């Protein structure tokens, strides 16, 4: 009898082809029986309970909040908690001054205003970040100019920053994205060469360090967020840190209607600059004082979990776990993977669906480069007009077309976020095992599919 190996495709009789196909399907069925069935195909999911994504509670939160409630001083103008938090946070960050605000976005807005960003100015911002990094520029009637990112850290690429500097450039905003510091030495060199301000966006990087220095203390001003997902939180809140007394004073004025208030200043109701009401409340200050006491402990747990997860997932050749450069302290605000669809043998969307079916979170994160948002693509400004792009003080011509930042455009197509905010902090060893198990199931099925 002829064997399968000796019969060409064209010479196989119909009944033999049917028998071979039947046996081949049987072989696949037996192999699939050996593999653990994916939940998306009706198998048992790895988890039936969601990962804990709630912020940790610091031991002294209730005590300090009760002190505010009993004092009946809820506003920072007359209270003490915000001032105390400012003092302790500046000490923690390694700076001389800190100015608390109601949100992290407000902190960016205030810092840019204090640095002199206004009509006619351009600010260089990475194209891969949360939109507030760029809209804070627009809020100051200035124009964001987008630069590309480094493929391993997701932070701004200094070489591309250099190409974006024009005579209208006023500041550079490095974003320490996902908890990894940007390359500050090169950024500061560019800033010094062109006399530019450096405003660090540290919203996702509390306690991160660059060459032994805490982020926020390296540029002219550093801005942090305390929104619900952040490494310490009061639901909302922000703070600006700086060593420059004049910048600190300017921040205080912009934060509070152009006035100055605080323990060392009597209120005179005089406004010296155009300001806003971006004050932090005493209740937020109380919660953040308690959370700040725990920040180092929270950070140790983040790093332990992030490093372990990165090691465990490095065995899958179709994914790139987060990288940490040797001189950086990475605090893993978000755990972002990059997926090679060709090596995996399925699309990122198929992977996300299969992983989510196993009872675990996976998302695509920032879905487009910032310049692809309608807000920027259509150059929408104040009152629906094209101001600041058509402002008489602006001599540049910002570009927001496809192809502007190629690395960013690749990252938005292949990134997969599997942890955000408190997810990494809350992970137990069992949780990490479940994450690796889920990807392992998918890898086995993808390998079997590729083989056949």
Q: At 100, is the secondary structure helix, strand, or coil?
A: strand
Taking the C-alpha atoms of residue 219 and residue 155, their distance in angstroms, rounded to an integer, is 15
For residue 373, pLDDT beyond 90: yes
Examine residue 354 and state whether it is found in any structural domain, yes or no: no
The pLDDT of residue 26 is: 45
Provide the mean pLDDT of the chain.
Answer: 92
Assign residue 84 the CATH number of its domain: 3.40.640.10
Contact of 192 with 221, CB cutoff 8 Å: no
- Domain limits for position 260: 61-292
Residue 435 in any domain: the answer is: no
Q: Please determine, for residue 264, whether its predicted confidence score (pLDDT) is greater than 90.
A: no
From the list 118, 170, 176, the residue with the least C-alpha distance to 145 is 170
Name the phi and psi angles at 36, rounded to 5: -75, 125
Q: Which residues neighbour 105 within 8 Å (Cβ) at sequence distance 6 or greater?
A: 132, 135, 136, 225, 238
Whether 216 maps to a domain, the answer reads: yes
197 has a pLDDT exceeding 80 = yes
Domain contains 312: no
Would you state the pLDDT for residue 2? Answer: 38
Pairing of strands 197-201, 169-172: parallel
CB 327 within 8 A of CB 213: no
pLDDT band at 1 (very low <50, low <70, confident <90, very high): very low
Number of domains in the chain: 1
Q: Is residue 267 part of a domain?
A: yes
Instruction: Judge whether 332 lies within some domain.
Output: no
* Residue 166's pLDDT band (cuts 50, 70, 90): very high
Helix axes 245-255, 104-114, angle to 10 degrees: 120
Q: What is the 3-state secondary structure (H, E, C) of 28-65?
A: HHHHHHHCCCCHHHCCCCCCCCCCCCCCCCCCCHHHHH
- Residue 315: inside a domain, yes or no? no
* CA pair distance 415, 128, nearest whole angstrom: 11
SS (H, E, C) 387-419: CCCCCCCCCCCCCCCCCCCHHHHHHHHHEEEEE
What confidence score (pLDDT) does residue 14 get?
53
Secondary element (H or E) of residue 221 = strand 221-225
Torsion sign over Cα 53, 58, 62, 64: negative
**Residue 103 within any structural domain of the chain:** yes
pLDDT at 22 over 90: no
């Amino acid at each position: 009898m002829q064997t399968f190996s000796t019969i060409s495709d064209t010479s196989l009789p119909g009944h033999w082809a049917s028998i071979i196909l039947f046996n081949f399907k049987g072989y696949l069925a037996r192999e699939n029986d050996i593999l653990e069935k994916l939940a998306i195909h009706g198998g048992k999911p790895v988890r039936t309970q969601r990962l804990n994504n709630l912020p940790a509670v610091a031991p002294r939160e209730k005590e300090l909040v009760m002190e505010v409630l009993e004092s009946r001083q809820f506003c920072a103008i007359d209270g003490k908690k915000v001032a105390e938090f400012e003092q302790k946070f500046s000490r923690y960050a390694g700076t001389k001054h800190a100015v608390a605000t109601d949100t992290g976005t407000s902190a960016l807005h205030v810092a840019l205003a204090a640095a002199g960003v206004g009509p006619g100015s351009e600010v260089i911002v990475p194209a891969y970040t949360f939109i507030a990094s760029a809209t804070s520029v627009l809020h100051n009637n200035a124009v964001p100019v987008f630069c590309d990112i480094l493929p391993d850290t997701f932070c701004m690429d200094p070489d591309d920053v250099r190409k974006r500097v024009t005579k209208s450039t006023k500041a550079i905003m490095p974003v320490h994205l996902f908890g990894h510091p940007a390359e500050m030495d090169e950024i500061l060199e560019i800033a010094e060469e062109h006399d530019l301000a450096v405003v660090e966006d540290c919203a996702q990087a509390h306690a991160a360090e660059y060459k032994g220095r805490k982020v926020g203390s390296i540029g002219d001003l550093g801005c942090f967020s305390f929104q619900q997902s952040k490494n310490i939180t009061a639901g909302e809140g922000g703070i600006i840190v700086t060593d420059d007394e004049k910048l600190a004073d300017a921040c205080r004025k912009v934060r509070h209607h152009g006035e100055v208030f605080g323990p060392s200043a009597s209120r005179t109701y005089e406004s010296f600059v155009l300001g806003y009401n971006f004050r932090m409340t005493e209740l937020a200050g109380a919660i953040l004082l308690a959370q700040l006491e725990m920040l180092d402990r929270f950070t140790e747990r983040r790093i332990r979990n992030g490093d372990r997860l990165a090691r465990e997932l490095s065995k899958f050749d179709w994914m790139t776990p987060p990288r940490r450069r040797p001189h950086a302290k990475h605090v893993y605000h978000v755990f972002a993977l990059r997926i090679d669809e060709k090596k995996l043998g399925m699309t990122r969307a198929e992977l996300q669906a299969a992983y989510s079916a196993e009872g675990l979170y996976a998302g695509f994160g920032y879905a487009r480069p910032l310049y692809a948002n309608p807000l920027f693509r259509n150059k929408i400004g104040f009152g629906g007009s094209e101001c600041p792009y058509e402002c008489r003080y602006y001599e540049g011509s910002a570009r927001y077309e496809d192809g502007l930042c190629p690395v960013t455009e690749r990252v938005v197509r292949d990134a997969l976020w599997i942890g955000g905010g408190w997810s990494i902090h809350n992970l137990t060893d069992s949780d990490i095992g479940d994450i690796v198990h889920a990807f392992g199931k998918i890898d086995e099925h993808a390998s079997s599919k590729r083989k056949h």
